[in-house]
Structure 1
């Protein structure tokens, strides 16, 4: 079989680039497309999000269980990308071609959203769990994990540039057919990099060996039943560190979803068209800057993160989020709003990748504490996803309901003029969402994450050994 001569970091780069390329467009545009282009009703939108939330609760633990305890082909991280990559790409494309747009009947749009969310999330969850396990298993050293994270962020840096290009070429979705062409091109590019990941050499530590000893993994692993799975789940949730990571990650996902899904809508409502006309280079540049800035910062901060540690870096980001929210008192200034959006983008998206390092360190800690014969990489990442994925549904439901309570749907139907007092109410609601979420959520994150105790910073440097 032909294998590409990709390094460990090269495989992580290709997988992250493909996943991030599609996920960036998905998170940034799907809410706006279904609200502003397809004109889905609030009822069908909320119904789809609720069903989506329950589906998330099922598929992530399922994929984690199968990829750690299923048949050998399910435990092959590279094979996952080859097998499920094409299905992920097709489900991504299906989002952007409407089943029907009827202002008087939202059922086609509702069914379209439900089916597309179910399919896209299932395949994305499968591959993201595989990528997370690949990240955790390729090295036990903290410094090397930070280096791998840098390659991951470089992939994200390249992928998020698609936002500025898409904004410019589609004129903020005014030329929707151009947007559709772009999504097809993105799907083709993602397919190529998913294939590269699948064909790269398998560098995961499928068998952990101590110096001078045989593999800790038996050649043939015993079958894992659901009773044992629940026991493992209870052990994982029993860790105060895991609870701190998972809850903080859930809150971070709420912030990330709110920022990605509603950043474009915030610009529409809070920044005058005289400053940012639709399709202007100014608007495109700002969106590109807010997307690229966080990735550049995390890439150049590699040595600082290694020096100060992942947990201290996270605490620092929460403090910045709380302090930056004070710009709320200057919300009438477009310049202050844009400044805050850039700061918020950095504090959310620059530090989100650090959760991969925290989870990887917890996986090593868990294996040591419970004398595991191997790392439960996929299982731990899927349990974490089980907790954080509901945020992807809850945040849009709450925000859309709040906006519609201020008349946002009437604004979309052009029954509210931008110069009317009702539009001022909508703008005020959007400003509340923009500033208050980082303040409240950032404060809770700070209080929760203070309970995190650093136990594994560098497995290699501490002569960390797995026991049988």
Structure 2
């Protein structure tokens, strides 16, 4: 495969991240404020909707993964080389079909068309359903399009570049956001949705074409691949593996279990940083920096992880993903311990720590898709599968990590209440944000600042220690990883 062909594949694959991030970052910033401040949803309805969303959010990943890949668990009738292109085509078709539906579901948030409670639940579930389908098939393609670590890191690097470009929509959105007059913002969101819809449709078609060229597939080979795909849908395999049997296989997959434990903590820490970033920024730095500086730190924290990831991926190609992730855990632990000793009095260092804590944690999250791709390979080898079940492995990993997303705000609010003596929900003054009470005495203010600081540094210390323990038990690196790669490559899987 030539450099030009590699670049073309990377551009088309990475562009899918642009079409998602350009809308998803706007969704993350504004959907809560839209329903709370504009649609005036009541607190009970909001929490009921969030609870339904959390349940759906946790289970739709493995559900869609199972629906997508269950036919591949026991496909004895076809050879790997024969069925492999059909799997890639199926994932690309899923992207081209769900991309437009994702764009439509994004638009449903910004126009009131039903009772706020009903609209909140329907919009969240529809949006997350299509988001999951896109993310699941896109990440699964990382394992399906490339086998070598070098090729996968290159594809991941293109995703980081396009995700960083897509994050610029966050800055542009501030120009149009006005909850008193939504027309400009609605037009802006419609433009984002149309761009995303067209991008997914054209991008998936272009990616399919470059894949066909790279595989040197003639018309008869394409037809055979499509016939195999159709036969998978029409045949009812009596020996098809059950959910119970698959669960037993997962339980015996030692590296997957250790990874799941580490990833659970990682998801918890990522969402803890995101959920309480404004509180730490306001209460620890609010009196020392301007609002513009605070907004700049908040905005750049969305972009820097993507840019930073390009450097991490370079290190991954040189030293391996395992070493780089371990180094990031050690760095997180060392930086938090250093900050704990020097205290909250050094404003510049504190500002750097608050920003870097989120940047490096998010950066670690973006490398973990590479680890899951390696786990896809190991799962395929351990269970002698005819075809890797990429989407199912990614979905199962998401199922086991999503509770960390739910636990983060619950544990965070409890820790803040314990350390500061303040209930942030009861003392909030703004309907659209969570803030600690203002107007404290000097003693109360000092207690709040110290409590926030302790939460800020203790959480990453505990997370890093737990992650280092779990990561030390993970053996899918070095000779073990090379063996898995060689078995897959020697068994007829080709690397594009």
For residues 297 and 437 of structure 2, the distance between their equivalents in structure 1, rounded to whole angstroms, comes to: 26
Question: Which residue does the alignment assign to 1:103?
Answer: none
Aligned partner of 1:307 among 309, 315, 318: 318
Aligned partner of 2:380 among 363, 367, 371: 367
1:445 aligns with 2:442: no
Name stretches of at least 5 consecutive residues in structure 1 with no aligned partner. Answer: 101-107
Asked if 2 retains the 8 angstrom alpha-carbon contact of 1:49 and 1:397, the reply is no
Q: What is the TM-score of this pair, normalised by structure 2?
A: 0.77
Aligned partner of 1:136 among 129, 137, 143: 143
Aligned partner of 2:192 among 186, 205, 208: 186
For residues 63 and 417 of structure 1, the distance between their equivalents in structure 2, rounded to whole angstroms, comes to: 43
Aligned partner of 2:309 among 298, 314, 318: 298
For residues 165 and 268 of structure 1, the distance between their equivalents in structure 2, rounded to whole angstroms, comes to: 23
Over residues 410-466 of structure 1, what are the superposed CA-to-partner deviations in whole Å (9 max), with x where a residue is unaligned?
332599863324676665554444333322222211111111102225866677323
Shift of 1:62: 1.8
Q: Which has more radius of gyration?
A: 2
Task: Note closer, same or farther for the CA distance 1:265–1:52 as it changes in structure 2 (3 Å cut).
Answer: same
> What secondary structure does 1:411 align onto?
coil
Over residues 148-203 of structure 1, what are the superposed CA-to-partner deviations in whole Å (9 max), with x where a residue is unaligned?
111111111212233344356649x8987765554333323322322233222436
Aligned partner of 2:153 among 143, 146, 150: 146
Q: What is the TM-score of this pair, normalised by structure 1?
A: 0.81
> What secondary structure does 1:389 align onto?
helix
Over residues 228-255 of structure 1, what are the superposed CA-to-partner deviations in whole Å (9 max), with x where a residue is unaligned?
3432232133211111222222221222
For residues 458 and 299 of structure 1, the distance between their equivalents in structure 2, rounded to whole angstroms, comes to: 27
Map 1:217-366 → 2, pairs under 5 A: 219=228, 220-221=231-232, 223=236, 227-272=241-286, 275-277=289-291, 280=292, 282-326=293-337, 327-328=339-340, 330-366=343-379
Asked if 2 retains the 8 angstrom alpha-carbon contact of 1:17 and 1:158, the reply is yes
**Count of aligned pairs:** 447
Over residues 374-394 of structure 1, what are the superposed CA-to-partner deviations in whole Å (9 max), with x where a residue is unaligned?
111111111111112233333
Aligned partner of 1:418 among 410, 413, 438: 438
For residues 428 and 33 of structure 1, the distance between their equivalents in structure 2, rounded to whole angstroms, comes to: 33
For residues 263 and 276 of structure 2, the distance between their equivalents in structure 1, rounded to whole angstroms, comes to: 20
More helix by share: 2
Aligned partner of 2:395 among 366, 377, 382: 382
Question: Which residue does the alignment assign to 2:62?
Answer: 61
Over residues 114-158 of structure 1, what are the superposed CA-to-partner deviations in whole Å (9 max), with x where a residue is unaligned?
322211111111111110111110011111011111111111121
Task: Note closer, same or farther for the CA distance 1:343–1:119 as it changes in structure 2 (3 Å cut).
Answer: same
Shift of 1:99: 7.1
For residues 386 and 342 of structure 1, the distance between their equivalents in structure 2, rounded to whole angstroms, comes to: 28
Give the aligned CA root-mean-square deviation in angstroms. 3.9
Question: Which residue does the alignment assign to 2:491?
Answer: 466
Task: Note closer, same or farther for the CA distance 1:401–1:192 as it changes in structure 2 (3 Å cut).
Answer: farther
1:51 aligns with 2:52: yes
Question: Which residue does the alignment assign to 2:81?
Answer: none
Name stretches of at least 5 consecutive residues in structure 2 with no aligned partner. Answer: 73-85
> What secondary structure does 1:339 align onto?
helix
1:20 aligns with 2:40: no
Over residues 350-382 of structure 1, what are the superposed CA-to-partner deviations in whole Å (9 max), with x where a residue is unaligned?
221221111111111111122111111111111
Task: Note closer, same or farther for the CA distance 1:69–1:434 as it changes in structure 2 (3 Å cut).
Answer: same
